[in-house]
Structure 1
């Protein structure tokens, strides 16, 4: 975990080897270990069920982000997920600006709202 500031955005960057987010409770424990409202994870930090929308895990995480007024960037290569519903989920999330799925941090910070 590394607290960082770029421009006027303060965020916490989690190393992909540090954690595996397997459920909403592990997500909240991790998020609240940080002082920042903006958190950055690697796609590898999330259990594979996060990327299967039928599991409900991603929806639960987005609900927590909304409830606690957080912002999240997930860094990775999302082209490997061929589900149309997941691609739509990424598109809608990126448009909203509170949860961003991108390959690089700079782009993610620019898309935050």
Structure 2
């Protein structure tokens, strides 16, 4: 795993790069958050969807809700980058739309859009 920091003014975003699944369960998500917070003093994370287990995107597993609640509780913003149109689930698409309306978790199509969004939220 490689973590790059993109900084604009006081805003820092940790860009996670890896060829592996980094978030397979809630503990993995907490470990990533702790690494970024304490190693890089960063409260915003950008991660490709390819680094997250597919079960995250099956809302019936409740994994997405569990992970996103932890990130919200610890006030860490998260942008997941990728193509979400490949999923047929109407509930997942509604979930993504609702998340994107907020200020905590975002599902975005590309890295630059995600960086812009994360840097724009305090």
Same-fold call, TM cutoff 0.5: yes
Looking at structure 2, the residues matched to 59 and 30 of structure 1 have their Cα atoms a distance apart, in angstroms, of: 17
Contact 2:82–2:110 (Cα < 8 Å) also in 1: yes
Contact 1:94–1:111 (Cα < 8 Å) also in 2: no
Q: Which has the higher contact order (CA 8 A, sep 6+)?
A: 2
Looking at structure 1, the residues matched to 11 and 87 of structure 2 have their Cα atoms a distance apart, in angstroms, of: 29
RMSD: 1.5
TM-score, normalised to structure 2, is: 0.85
Larger displacement relative to structure 2 (9-18 or 67-76): 9-18
Structure 2 residue runs of 5 or longer lacking an equivalent are none
Contact 2:13–2:115 (Cα < 8 Å) also in 1: no
| Partner residue, 2:65 | 59
Residue 16 of structure 2 is aligned to residue 32 of structure 1: no
Residue 11 of structure 2 is aligned to residue 5 of structure 1: no
Question: Paired residues, what number?
Answer: 113
Looking at structure 2, the residues matched to 99 and 89 of structure 1 have their Cα atoms a distance apart, in angstroms, of: 11
Equivalent positions of 1:1-113 (< 5 A) are 1-17=3-19, 19-34=21-36, 35-112=41-118, 113=121
Contact 2:79–2:105 (Cα < 8 Å) also in 1: yes
Q: Structure 2 vs 1, CA of residues 19 and 48 (structure 1 numbering), >3 Å: closer, same or farther?
A: closer
Larger displacement relative to structure 2 (78-87 or 102-111): 102-111
TM-score, normalised to structure 1, is: 0.91
Structure 1 stretches of at least 4 aligned residues deviating more than 4 Å after TM superposition: none
